Structure formats: structure tokens, C-alpha cells
Structure 1
Amino acid sequence: GVAEGQMRIDGYDRPIDLCVKVRIEKDRIVTDWEGTSGLDKKGINVPLVYTKAYACYALKCAIAPEIPNNAASLAPFEITAPVNSIVNAVHPAPVALRHVIGHMVPDTVYDALDKLLPGLAPAQGAGCLCNFQVSLRPRMDAPAPDDAVRAEVLTFNSGGSGARATLDGMSATAFPSGVMTMPVEATEQVGPVVIWRKELRADSGGAGQYRGGLGQYMSVGAREGHEFDIQAMFDRVDHPALGCRGGGNGAPTTIARGDGTPMKGKGKQFVPHGGRVDMAFPGGAGYGEPQERAREAVRRDLALGYITPGFAIEHYGMTQEDIDAVLAQAKRGEEF
């Protein structure tokens, strides 16, 4: 059969539309990216080989995960895209941040595949990595201490992955890249950066029969005597992960100064001495109707702090009596 998948994501200066048509034939699967947005002047364009890699990866994960990758096992997957679309960039198009778009390819393929093979593909997740680079230097608005230094610190972070047809999504776990989140202790050793907060983000996973994976909170600043620029490389600010088969959307990305002043999801931005940047990374979307979620799973989420009482009432229909009982049980240290 044939089915179409779409995804709209933030892009840089304008939204980007990814459009794919998946066609399952007797001896091959064709994915055609006709209708996808054109090139961008920023370096988020994707070479066709990168698009092929992630489209094939999505299909292999879904229908043939046990078969090793080699020329023969990959031969049935055919990927086409218009030249100078954002998923088929040719020289001299800038491509340094290709992952920002390229990592959204699998979930777009899955949007189409779910219409052909229900119950196989997951809901949308955070997609691209939630990376940021901090360029630190001695403060320039006043004398800096003698031990102030210049440093560049790049951190790799993840939002939540989408719920699957039979399992909850994974929290703060990258898909499709598989890149691990960096420990706070390691990050703070490579430069005068301070991670003030790093924790799972309650209510960020989309509600559903199976819940989306949680995103995470991060708050970053600099040691005394430093100012910095932060280079944000985020998506899902304006276009969060969409739920599948009645599941709820994941929470969007937010970024702001410590005083609440909003910041941009992409680009270099200055943070003065004593300032912080507060970030909330996106959650994965839910799969299936929330009313179908097992009551014990909802109770466990509440006890563990994955959802708040308000979320449990709004999305899962829990009563205040139920909530009070769960919280009392959790306070006693009883397992769920």
C-alpha cells in the first residue's frame, strides 16, 4: 500500500515541512520526499545520504531489526527526494547542523508507516538532540578575578522519546541518534560552567494508553567572574511532538533567562555576569487513548512524580480521593 506522512518543525527563521510518501511494493519499500521544504540559508540542510541513512534506519527498526545491516539487507529500501529540498542538499548548501532536521526523518516515516502497519511504529518524540554550546570568558563589565578563563563547553542532551504501541516512551533518551546525555560532573570539569538544575520534567510526556517519555529541565550558568554566550540548537519550541491514535502531544521546548525573559530556540545569545539560562526540553508524545491507560500505571506515574495531580485529573480522570491515597502510599515508601 501507499501512505503519506508529514511533520512541521521549527526550522531556523521559518517552519520546515517534511513530507514523505511510503510505498510498500512486492520487492522493495520506496520513500519519496516530494513536497518537503526547500533549502535554508542556515546550516540545517541535509545531504541525501544522511536522509537515506535515517529513513533506512527507521524502516529497519520497525520491520527487520534482527537482520544485520549490509548491502543486501538495505537494497530493498529506496529513498528519493527533489534536489535542493532540505533533505537533498547539494554543494554549496550549508549542512553543519543537519541533525536538527535529519533526526526528524524517522518519525516522519513512522507517521506514514503507522497508517499501513498499525501498532508497529512509535509516536513522535523529541527528535533532534537538545544541544547547546556555552562560550565562557572573563566578565567585561567589571574587573574579573585572576582565575577567570575562556572556555568552550558543548553539551549533549535529550528530550523524551515517543510512546510505543505497547510500551511507554523513554525519558530523556535520544531517538534516533542514541547519543547519551552528559553527566553534570563531567560537564563542570571542562570549563567554568555551572549546571544548577538537571531533572526530569513532570507532565512533559504526552498522555495516552502508553505515555510519552519525559523531557528534562536544565539550568546553566557560569562561575563567579564570567559571562557567556549560549549557542542554542533546539527544536520543538513551536511544534511539539504529536500524539498517535488518540495520544496526547508532548510538551514543547522552552528557554528563558533566569529572570523569565524569553530566549530563542536557535542561535547565539549573550548572558551577562550572574545570569542563568533555564531550559525545559520537550517530551515525547503519547500512543493510544488516555482513557485506556491501566489505572496502576497512572498511579505509579503519580507516585514517582512523572505526572502531577492536576495532570492526572485532566488527562486520566483520577479523583482527588484517588490522588490523596496514592500520595499517602508514596509517602509511606510503599512500592507501586
Structure 2
Amino acid sequence: MSRVDPIMLEMVRQRLVSIAQEAEAVIVRTAYSSTIAEASDFSAAILDAQGRLLAQTPRALGAFIGVLGTALKTLLGHFPADTLMPGDTIVTNDPWIGAGHLPDIVAIRPIFFRNRIVGYAANVAHVSDIGGRVSAESSDMFEEGLLIPPTLLFRGGNPDRVAMRFIQSNSRLPDQVAGDIQALYIANALTERRLGEILVEYGLDDLDDLSEELQTRAERAVRERIRSVPDGVYEGEAYSDGVDKPLRIAARVTISGDRIDVDYAGTAPQVRWGINAPFNLTRAETMYALRLLFAPDVPVVEGAIAPFSVTAPEGCVLNPRRPAATMIRVTVVQNIFGALFSALAGLEPDYVPSGRLHAHFGGIWAIRFRGVYHEVPSVYRNGGPPQVNRSYAEAYFFNGGTGALGCADGRSTLSMPVNCSSIPVEIMEARTPVLFEHKRILPDSGGAGRYRGGLGQEISVRILSDVPIDFVPGTNDRVDHPPFGLFGGKAGSGGGMWIDGTRAHRRRSQTVLKDQIVTVAIPGGGGFGNPLERDPKRIEQDIAAGLVTLDGAARDYGYGEHKKSGLEN
């Protein structure tokens, strides 16, 4: 078709999004790893024949989607499009090609229609175990697990069984990893089938004209938004706790005409710990943040990020050289949002509407328990037959508070910006020999402000195993550098980890014994605006709900003694 009817364009676009949603539902139903099926640490997308993003779901992890287009271009350099056939699937977990660390496996399948490629089905997911260390202790990538180079793992719909066995043989959880890869394959196959049905229904031979129109419209809309913002250079920073010393994330944002350029010069050098973030992930996270600020309502296609460019000095923690360790890269890369939002805070509310830009957040934390079963988990509580020599390596994701907005309080215990769910306690107790003593909101953890930061949470876990097991810290951060507030808002609470009341090392694996208690507190989000300007009714509602204590209200909001007395009575 030479001209695209706008009504049909939107109808087809929405159908493409629904296909991606169905593909994600298939992954949830068929994946084995709790990181995928429970935490939703995965995304699915549709790319056009040129490798440009064409559709993703509203739930998708923004940074994951941002890497799939660049990953496809690299993979086609290894397996040119004209050598591919129906049913082929290329996979890799190379951190410098995909999503930044080895547990994230990218799977891409060409979409054939009438004997030619009309697009690509793509997904990426965090599998439970890929071998190696799963903490930040590694000094290079080779200690962190198995690197899968670009591999044609399925040829014409048939798996390369030797390659699959090789992958399984290097995982503590071989069945889970194989099942996860199969789930990605099945989801992409569904995407191809559904897309073919749409092409037939609308009488289309390909997606070329439709995609070109979508990309053009989206890019035009975003550039119009940028032109309404004053030209200038805006600078901001955020700090990750790092290991031996804090790591500065410095952002210099240049707005010129209808484009935005972000440079991370001044960011800390790469480190020998596994918290470096490869540039492909840095770029994707930056695009995600800018899109949320300037064009959250524009369809998420490649054109929507075309006006943005990103640079970072080679050798910095946001653009490390191979073979830097990257296992816990989210610890650092999450702070991109903090650096960008602090840089652009002055644009709110005149040029960035209230409700988009927020104070810093508690973020997603993860801990892992790892060992070998000498009895199945239920035995420790209910009795039953022993089961020996089966490894477990289960991650538990949970979230802190989001930063307050210029028009609303932050959300409590909600993932930002990763968009992962907390893993249910019941899953952890079913798969590992632990018992959760409590999981609760932390009062006063949200930063005070005219709008309060979201609250963090605390968990306490008792070890039930009769033999020592490993406790592996994950993405913890903002312990020494609590989530900052904006425009006079106070910082949220810092986080921490303790074993039997003694502070645990934030990056190293530690052995824990039966009946020891692991306690983890996750930060609350920063506040927005002067706390003394907060509506007293909101303060009273927070006190009544147990979100703010009487002492906290007096300390942070100047809440009077007579009010305290009245509430106590």
C-alpha cells in the first residue's frame, strides 16, 4: 500500500501490541524460572524487517525493549537475513549484545510471510541460573557464568540438541534453563503465527509501509515536544553505593532544537566488581527515562526514541570494556534515572508536566539462597521422604518505595524503573529451605515532602536447612546514599541487610546456618517539595494508616504536640 489509512494504522498497531501481550502471557505460563513466571523479568516485542521496534506491551521492561533492536542488528551480522529460514531462532546472552548480564537470554526469530521476512519476533528473559557466581564478587565476566555467543539454537524449528545440552550442563538448574528457552521459542512462534493472520486479514503483503508511517509519526510527535522545551545544558548526578567507594553517575543533557543528547562524561570508572553496565543497557535505560519524561503517550516504536542520542566514555561504569563483570549491573544503571531527573527537575511543571518527574526511588532489591537439597523444602516443616543432590539457586525480588511526584505521593513497595514484580513468599518457601518470619511496610521510610515518598519494606527470613547454605546479596543499593528528594523534599530511608542483627556485607556471598535470621530493609522513595507545605489531612491519614509514626510526623512535618495528643486519645 502506498498510503496508510490512519484508522487502519491504529487498528493494526493495537493488534500488534495485543500479539506482544499474548506472547508475554505464553512466557508466563510456560517458563520455569520464578524470575520470569513470578517476577516478570522479561519482555517481548515485534520488530520490523529493518530491525526497528514496532510493538511492545505497556507492562514491558523499558530497558529490555531498548536493547532488542540493537541486538538484532548484531545477530544478523553473524547470521544474515538471507541465510535464515522459517523456524530459526538465534539466541545469545552476551552482555555487550543483549541486556547487560549473563542471566538475560535474548531470543529472536524471523517472521516469514509468503516466503520472505516481514519482521522479527524478539524476547529477552532472566533465567534463574547460568552457572558461575551470581553475586557482585566476580572480577570479570568469565567468573559469572556461561557466555552463549550468537547461536542458531533452533534451525527450521528443530533444536540444536548438542548446544542445548552444553547450556544445561553449565547451569545448576538445567531443566529450568531449558524450559525457559523453550518458552521463549514458543512465544516467538506464536508471534509469527498471529502476525501472519493479521496480514491476511488486512490484505497486506508486509509491514513496510505501516512501520514507516508509525516511525515517522512518532518521531515527529516527539520532536515537536522537544522543540517546546528551552534549549540549554542541564546537569545532574546520582550516586551508587559501589563497594569500596561510591560511584558517581554524572549526566549532561543538551537540548537543542528538536533533539536531546545525553553525555555521561564524569561518571566513575569501571570497577573490578560485577556492577558495571554495558553501554547497550545504558543507552536503553536513558531512552526509557527520556521517553517517560517527554513522550509517555506516544506509541513505543523506534521513531519515539530517534531524537535522543547517548554517549559515555569508554571504560566508565556505564560503558565498561570487556570482559568487565556485570552480573549486578542494575545496581548502577538504575541511578541513570536519578541523574537525569535531577538534571531536568527545573523543567517541571512548565515543560515537563507534574506526574512524570519524580524524586529518587528505593529500587528493586534481590537476594538469593543457594545450596543442595538434603531434603525437599516441605520436609523441614511437614515431614516426608528425603531428596538429595539437587541444587537450588532461587532469587527473591522485592521492591522499595518510588519517589514522590510533583502532584502525588510515591507508591510503596513498587518497582521503578525495572518494572518487575515482587516474588511471592510462598514460592521462595516452596523452593528453598527458608521460612519468612515477616514481610512488612517500614513506617517513616518514605521521604518527607509536600508529597511523600513511597514506603520501603522489611523482610525477615529464618534458615531451615540442616546444612550450611549460601546467602547471596543482589541488587541492593542506596544504603549509604538514600534516595534523594526534590525541591526541598527529604531523602527516603536507606536500606540494609543483617544476619542475626549483625550488618552483612552488601556484595559478598555469606554462609548461613540453621535458625539464623536474615533481615533486609529496602529504602523508601524521596519526597517532593517542602514537608511543611504538606496538607495536614494527609499527615493524619498517614498516621492513621501506620505509614508515618507520631514521632516521625513531629520530626519531619512539624506536626504539633496538640495534634499528637488528640490522636492518642
Tell me the TM-score normalised to structure 1 length: 0.91
1:64 to 291, 295, 304: 295
Give secondary structure in 2 for the equivalent of 1:88: coil
Match of 1:245 in 2: 487
What amino acid sits opposite 1:255 in the alignment?
A: M
Give secondary structure in 1 for the equivalent of 2:250: strand
Match of 1:40 in 2: 271
What amino acid sits opposite 1:130 in the alignment?
A: W
Match of 1:73 in 2: 304
Map residues 34-183 of structure 1 onto 2, 5 A cutoff: 34-118=265-349, 119=354, 120-127=356-363, 129-137=364-372, 147=386, 151-183=392-424
Deviates more, 1:301-310 or 1:89-98: 89-98
Return the offset for 1:62: 1.2
What amino acid sits opposite 1:97 in the alignment?
A: I
- Contact kept, 8 Å, 2:449 with 2:527, in 1: the verdict is yes
- Contact kept, 8 Å, 2:235 with 2:252, in 1: the verdict is yes
- Separation in 2 of the partners of 1:27 and 1:13? 41
- Contact kept, 8 Å, 2:463 with 2:513, in 1: the verdict is no
What amino acid sits opposite 1:15 in the alignment?
A: P
- Separation in 2 of the partners of 1:66 and 1:301? 32
Which stretches of structure 1, 4 residues or longer, exceed 6 Å deviation after superposition? none
- Give the root-mean-square deviation of aligned CA atoms: 1.9
Q: Please, which runs of 5 or more residues in structure 1 have no aligned partner?
A: 329-336
Deviates more, 1:108-117 or 1:288-297: 108-117
State yes or no: 1:191 paired with 2:432: yes
Task: Report the CA distance shift for 1:226/1:34 in structure 2 as closer, same or farther (over 3 A).
Answer: same
- Separation in 1 of the partners of 2:521 and 2:263? 34
Match of 1:22 in 2: 253
Map residues 3-22 of structure 1 onto 2, 5 A cutoff: 3-22=234-253
- Separation in 2 of the partners of 1:227 and 1:305? 37
Task: Report the CA distance shift for 1:187/1:327 in structure 2 as closer, same or farther (over 3 A).
Answer: farther
C-alpha deviations, 1:47-104, integer Å up to 9, x for none?
1110111111111111100111222211101111101111112322222221111122
What amino acid sits opposite 2:400 in the alignment?
A: G
Give secondary structure in 1 for the equivalent of 2:399: coil
What amino acid sits opposite 2:322 in the alignment?
A: H
Give secondary structure in 2 for the equivalent of 1:85: coil
- Separation in 2 of the partners of 1:35 and 1:28? 22
Judging by fraction of residues, say which structure has more helix.
Answer: 2
Give secondary structure in 2 for the equivalent of 1:156: strand
- Contact kept, 8 Å, 2:470 with 2:509, in 1: the verdict is yes
Match of 2:59 in 1: none
- Separation in 2 of the partners of 1:226 and 1:210? 47
Return the offset for 1:35: 0.3
Give secondary structure in 2 for the equivalent of 1:57: helix
- Contact kept, 8 Å, 1:3 with 1:116, in 2: the verdict is no
C-alpha deviations, 1:105-155, integer Å up to 9, x for none?
11211110113445551001113x21011124579xxxx998486532210
- Contact kept, 8 Å, 2:491 with 2:526, in 1: the verdict is yes
- Separation in 2 of the partners of 1:269 and 1:59? 38
- Separation in 1 of the partners of 2:324 and 2:496? 29
2:521 to 277, 280, 283: 280
- Separation in 2 of the partners of 1:264 and 1:154? 18
Paired residues in the alignment total 322
Percent of pairs with identical residues: 34
Larger Rg: 2
- Contact kept, 8 Å, 2:291 with 2:304, in 1: the verdict is no
- Separation in 2 of the partners of 1:72 and 1:85? 28
Match of 1:334 in 2: none
Match of 2:470 in 1: 229
Q: Please, which runs of 5 or more residues in structure 2 have no aligned partner?
A: 1-231, 375-379
- Separation in 1 of the partners of 2:527 and 2:514? 40
Return the offset for 1:307: 0.8
